[in-house]
Amino acid sequence: MNLCKHVHLYRCDDCGEHHCELCFGSSKKNWEDALHKCPETIKICEDCHLNGRMIPLIWTFAFNGSEYWCPFCGKNSGMIGAGEDVAFSKTLWMRRSAYESLSREFLKATGTLVASGVPWNGEIIHPTQLPEHEKNRRQEVRDSWKFGVELL
Residue 79 within any structural domain of the chain: yes
pLDDT band, residue 5 (cuts 50/70/90)? very low
Res. 93: pLDDT tops 60:
yes
* Mean local confidence (pLDDT), 110-130: 94
Res. 124: pLDDT tops 90:
yes
Res. 25: pLDDT tops 70:
no
Number of domains observed in the structure of the chain: 2
Domain that holds residue 81: 41-144
Same domain assignment for residues 7 and 63 = no
- Who has greater pLDDT, 31 or 130? 130
Same domain assignment for residues 110 and 48 = yes
Residue 150 within any structural domain of the chain: no
Res. 8: pLDDT tops 80:
no
**How high is the pLDDT of residue 151?**
87
Res. 76: pLDDT tops 90:
yes
**How high is the pLDDT of residue 133?**
97
For the entire predicted model, the pTM comes to: 0.73
Same domain assignment for residues 30 and 45 = no
8: amino acid identity, one letter = H
Same domain assignment for residues 91 and 112 = yes
Cβ-proximal residues to 137 (8 Å cutoff; 6+ apart), any chain: 109
Same domain assignment for residues 83 and 133 = yes
**How high is the pLDDT of residue 6?**
43
User: How far apart are alpha carbons 46 and 32 in whole angstroms?
Assistant: 35
Same domain assignment for residues 31 and 50 = no
Same domain assignment for residues 27 and 48 = no
Same domain assignment for residues 114 and 100 = yes
Same domain assignment for residues 16 and 53 = no
Output the DSSP codes for 24-68: H-SSHHHHHHTT----SEEEE-HHHHHTT---B-EEEEEETTEEE
* HSE-up of residue 143 (Cα within 13 Å, Cβ side): 6
Residue 136's H or E segment, with its range, is: helix 132-144
Task: Determine what percent of the chain is predicted with pLDDT higher than 70.
Answer: 75
Res. 39: pLDDT tops 80:
no
Res. 127: pLDDT tops 90:
yes
Same domain assignment for residues 72 and 21 = no
